[in-house]
Amino acid sequence: MFPDSSHPSPAVKICGITQEQQARDIITLGADALGINFWPKSKRYLPLEKAGWLHEIQGMTTLVAVLVNADARTLETLIEQRLVHVLQLHGDETPAEVEALQACGLQVIKALAVRDRESLRRIGEYPCESILLDAYNPGLYGGTGETFPWDLAVMAREQYPDKRILLSGGLTPANVRQAVEEVRPAGVDVASGVESAPGIKDLGMVREFIEQVRSAVVA
């Protein structure tokens, strides 16, 4: 199960990985999970036909497919080939669709864009245990680098204690420790905050990001 609730600190997912060697390097640095973006409109898009190398690292980490309103063929390929362990859904997927995907034996993380307290209500509608909170930006589905008020994430954690709340949106090595200490999420998710270019990670920034998470003091 990702994130692992037995961790003394939040799980770390580095998202938007496009290269096998970078994946291996980031695993070595201590990331708990890697996000692979299968949404064609993403700057970090990895086509399915070029994703065969994921089989080579499956036993080394948790692999998360980042999807936005994925078509049936993409879902069938991911499920049948077992390329990933988790589906992270950023689109308009309904609670019923999430339930159906969970029935296929894969863990599902539902990503929700939050802008106010009212938008937190949607968390309770979804059957999956893990919910990723991201910044609200009309027409965009994650990876914008924009932050949202962390107090909303605190409210989400308090209102839904049975959910694992993952924090995303605008996290960087400079602010993630504060975010962890204020929000106490089950996990944190970063893409643009540790990049030298879209889909290319700066390994020094990745190392610092992970170190900052691990050094956070969580009561």
The architecture of the domain spanning 11-215 is Alpha-Beta Barrel (3.20)
pTM above 0.85, yes or no: yes
Residue type, 93: E
Contacts of residue 33, defined as CB under 8 A and 6 or more positions apart, other chains included, come to 2, 3, 11, 12, 13, 14, 61, 62, 63, 64, 86, 187
Tell me, yes or no, if 162 is annotated catalytic.
no
Report the candidate in 21, 89, 86, 87 with the shortest Cα–Cα distance to residue 57.
21
pLDDT tens per residue across span 185-215: 999 999 999 999 999 999 999 999 999 999 9
Angle at 155 between CA 213 and CA 34, to 5 degrees: 35
Kindly tell me the sign of the dihedral angle through the C-alpha atoms of 113, 160, 30, 218. positive
Domain positions in the chain: 11-215
Catalytic one among 15, 32, 128, 189?
A: 15
- CA proximity to 17, closest of 54, 44, 40: 44
User: Which of 99, 100, 55, 46 has its CA nearest to residue 74?
Assistant: 46
Query: Can 71 be counted among the known catalytic residues?
Result: no
- pLDDT (tens digit, 9 = 90+) per residue, 89-117? 999 999 999 999 999 888 999 999 888 89
Distance CA 173, CA 201 (A): 13
Per residue of the chain (219 residues), give pLDDT as tens. Answer: 677 766 678 999 999 999 999 999 999 999 999 999 999 999 999 999 999 999 999 999 999 999 999 999 999 999 898 899 999 999 999 999 999 999 988 899 999 988 889 989 999 999 999 999 987 554 445 555 556 788 999 999 999 999 999 999 899 999 999 999 999 999 999 999 999 999 999 999 999 999 999 999 876
Instruction: Given the residues 92, 134, 151, 202, select the one marked as catalytic.
Output: 134
